[in-house]
Amino acid sequence: MTKYLDEIREKVKEYLPPKVRVKSIEFEGPQLVIYVENPQELAEVDIVKKLAKDLRKRIIIRADPKSLKPPEKARQIIMQIVPEDARISNIFFDEENGEVIIEAEKPGVVIGKQGSTFREIMRAVGWSPRVVRTPPIKSKIIDNIRNYLLSVREERSEILKRIGERIHRTSLIDEKWVRVTFLGGSREVGRSCYLLQTPESRILIDCGVNVSNLSSTPYLYVPEVQPLDALDAVVITHAHLDHCGLVPLLYKFGYRGPIYLTPPTRDLMVLLQLDFLEVAGREGTNPPYSSNLIREALKHTITLDYGVVTDISPDVRLTFYNAGHILGSAIAHFHIGEGHYNIAFTGDFKFEKTRLFDRAATNFPRLEALVMEATYGGPNDFQPSRKEAEERLIEVINRTLDRGGKVLIPTFAVGRSQEVMIVLEEAMREKRLRETYVYLDGMIYEATAIHTAYPEYLNAQLRDLIFYHGINPFISENFVRVDSSSKREEVISDPSPSIIIATSGMLNGGPVMEYFRHLAEDERNTIVFVGYQAEGTLGRKIQKGWKEVPFPVDGRREVVEVKMEVETVDGFSGHSDRKQLMNYIRYLNSKPEKVATVHGDESKCIDLASSIYKTYRIETRAPMNLETIRFV
């Protein structure tokens, strides 16, 4: 470690101009932090980029703390420098990165002509400015997360140093192999959890709840994962609870290491985990962890944007790629050893452009193995086109509204909700759909706010619509937030037709339960499923056409008669359908030698594996939970 740092010091000397005064060099998490007395001299970012490339490290240049103006003072200076018409809405300081983040309605004005104002700020306050557009909806959760991380910054700095030292430890093992143990989410949907292992490293990918049985967790007690504090890293592909819902539990069981995820995944994850606890509390079930463990986990998060290559252990580099499934969803690509092997985990992915996102990435520098989802991997799992799906949804809604009924759309808070919102907003704007209130219950409003905070994670068309055409579909006046049970009762008892989008998406808890219970017995109403219903969930039962369903009320079980219309509109899914799954392999520009299928019912995982083998002659497997596959 010390010797390694010495080598790095030499390199740094070689690259940086002599006038730059380096005070110290440290590892902080996966990053190399260079403390510089006069960072202004490094305004030419190219030098740092070249150094980073040569060292194959992420590099942060941080001003020597002495040369930084104190935050309050810096804030005043910035407000003086930046013209008022930039309309700055928020300024906050990211000490980890030595950055001051300036939120403004007109970011261009903060930057100034050819960056003149930007440079002036930097010279005056020491901090590097990062300028972002003020989100149109304020996210309470993002504010809370920022404030929390700021409040624990000293502890977090210690944590990052410890992680940095661990990542750059000396490797002693000569052997080379790569294997994956499947700990959950194999031949099933729910509790996704995979363990990537090399002789040197152990990396956990996802750690989700079982959507159809909240009391069953991934197989975290098997020896491969023990002791948890020996794991090198936890990597989260996206924020849905079946992929990240049990991450806080890892800290209960002794894990103390980092969680790698994209910035939107971090925020959505915290949102959904808090909601998970709240729903559990409301329903009187015993949640597997408490909110202080959510904070503990948050303290250990390290965010990575798409395309950023990062060392996460002595022999593993992680890069996230767009998965097209929900905001921030990522395909996690692992580069193992120096060119030894490359394996990617798709997580949930959509290989089709949607209203929100570009289709999943296919362009990897190298890829020997792929672990891919198979939710719609069955031979007949073809979805209609998005256009057809949208038309059908509008038709079903119009029909229901016309007969004076209410439309209930159960969705995950994140993903389908926003997709449906955009469709409804456009259809109302274009008068294809009768104008009516669209009630958003559960975490949907807050989730939408997070979407507006990360425009760079949306696709180009949507960004254009928002920023260049001034149309932000998320803030249409027809959308009404439901944030109290009195408001909910009001919506339910209001006799006029309306649309209700509510969580959870599979009717295994959440406000949708209350709506369903009251709307089910009126045949004018319609429930529309736009997302996957896992085996064992109430949603699946209703979808299958059960006329009476068991229903939990205050700890007892009632029977609810289902007289409302039950519709399933396929085609909105954030998952690839069979054709997209098969095409994904075809379009990969680096063909894998081995593919494992997971995250699907048993028959779908097996069928998809077999079809990929037959079509592409790629070795495939549909592993079971608790199995280990060796890849090389």
Which segments are annotated as binding site for Zn(2+)? 238, 240, 242-243, 325, 348, 599
Stretch that binds a copy of itself, among 174-182, 526-534, 537-545, 578-586 (CB under 8 A): 174-182
Tell me how far, at minimum, the Cβ of 585 lies from a copy of itself, in Å. 23
Question: Under the criterion CB under 8 A, does residue 308 sit at the interface with a copy of itself?
Answer: no
Answer whether 407's CB lies under 8 Å from 526's CB: yes
Question: Under the criterion CB under 8 A, does residue 628 sit at the interface with a copy of itself?
Answer: yes
Question: Under the criterion CB under 8 A, does residue 627 sit at the interface with a copy of itself?
Answer: yes
Angle at 198 between CA 196 and CA 203, to 5 degrees: 35
User: What single letter denotes the amino acid at residue 127?
Assistant: W
* 3-class secondary structure, 370: strand
Question: Under the criterion CB under 8 A, does residue 624 sit at the interface with a copy of itself?
Answer: yes
Tell me how far, at minimum, the Cβ of 234 lies from a copy of itself, in Å. 16
- Sign, CA dihedral 418-419-424-426, equals positive
134 vs 181, beta carbon nearer a copy of itself: 181
Angle at 612 between CA 606 and CA 613, to 5 degrees: 90
Tell me how far, at minimum, the Cβ of 179 lies from a copy of itself, in Å. 5
* CA-to-CA dists, residue 216 to 14, 326, 453, angstroms: 55, 25, 34
> Which residue's structure tokens are 């799992």?
381
201 vs 526, beta carbon nearer a copy of itself: 201
- Sign, CA dihedral 30-36-39-44, equals negative
Q: How many residues bind a copy of itself (CB under 8 A)?
A: 20
As a 3-state breakdown, the chain gives helix, strand, coil percent values, each rounded to 5, of 40, 20, 40
176 vs 524, beta carbon nearer a copy of itself: 176
Tell me how far, at minimum, the Cβ of 195 lies from a copy of itself, in Å. 9
Question: Under the criterion CB under 8 A, does residue 629 sit at the interface with a copy of itself?
Answer: yes
Stretch that binds a copy of itself, among 353-361, 371-379, 569-577, 623-631 (CB under 8 A): 623-631
55 vs 629, beta carbon nearer a copy of itself: 629
- Separation CA 8–CA 51 (nearest Å): 10
Tell me how far, at minimum, the Cβ of 296 lies from a copy of itself, in Å. 24
- Separation CA 241–CA 510 (nearest Å): 13
209 vs 569, beta carbon nearer a copy of itself: 209
Tell me how far, at minimum, the Cβ of 333 lies from a copy of itself, in Å. 22
Residues 6+ apart with CB under 8 A from 70: none
Binding residues for a copy of itself restricted to 354-393, rule: CB under 8 A: none
Binding residues for a copy of itself restricted to 177-236, rule: CB under 8 A: 177, 179, 181, 197, 199, 202, 221-226, 230
> Which residue's structure tokens are 């649309």?
499
- Separation CA 404–CA 183 (nearest Å): 48
Which of 377, 378, 371 is CA-nearest to residue 346? 371
Binding residues for a copy of itself restricted to 512-541, rule: CB under 8 A: none
216 vs 485, beta carbon nearer a copy of itself: 216
User: What single letter denotes the amino acid at residue 294?
Assistant: I
Chain residues that interact with a copy of itself, rule: CB under 8 A: 177, 179, 181, 197, 199, 202, 221-226, 230, 624-630
